[in-house]
Amino acid sequence: MAPIDLREHNPDDGVDIRPGTNKAAIIKLLYRETNLAYTPSEIRDALDLPRGTISTTLSRLHDDGLIGKTSDGLYHGFDHRDDVRRFARSLVQLDEMFTRYPNPGLGPDDVEQTGTGAKTEITRDTEAEHDTSGSEPAPADWVTGTDTDTDSGTADEDQ
């Protein structure tokens, strides 16, 4: 079992599904519009999942009360499950964030650590370790050249 990311963990949330899993993908699809229902093959085609995986995962989600199933075999999200709706929305927001910022240039060393293994000091020069091409300029770079640049001593740094 993989460790839990505490930045995304909410102990009060009744949804125990990890983002990036088949269960999460199905939840995201079915909770986009809870008035729509899908056949297992429609879900499989929409998510490009293997045939055996889809039936097993749908059964588990249904047995856990996270999704509904009509008498004729159509699967859907529930209007009354606000916790699952919030989870599905967060999955959509994560997708949008990763689409908008596909390469943030951050690694595990850039994230503040907590607990007994935490670093006691976070260095400020980690920016130099990362490729910043295409990244947003620093606030000092926002100011365009003016007559006062030479007075501030920045001209010596640029040379």
Q: Please report the pLDDT score of residue 27 as a whole number.
A: 92
Say if pTM beats, i.e. exceeds, 0.75.
no
Note down the domain range covering 93: 22-100
* d(C-alpha 115, C-alpha 33), whole Å: 40
Report the first-to-last Cα separation within the chain, whole angstroms: 53
Residue-by-residue pLDDT tens, the chain, 159 positions: 567 676 765 555 566 788 888 999 999 999 999 899 999 999 999 999 888 889 999 999 999 899 999 999 999 999 888 888 888 888 888 888 777 777 766 666 665 656 565 555 555 554 455 555 556 666 665 555 555 544 544 444 444
Whether 77 contacts 85, CB under 8 Å = yes
> CATH no. for residue 93?
1.10.10.10
User: CA-CA distance, 95 to 27, in Å (whole number)?
Assistant: 14
Number of separate domains in the chain = 1
Whether residue 79 lies inside any domain: the answer is yes
Inside any domain, residue 27:
yes
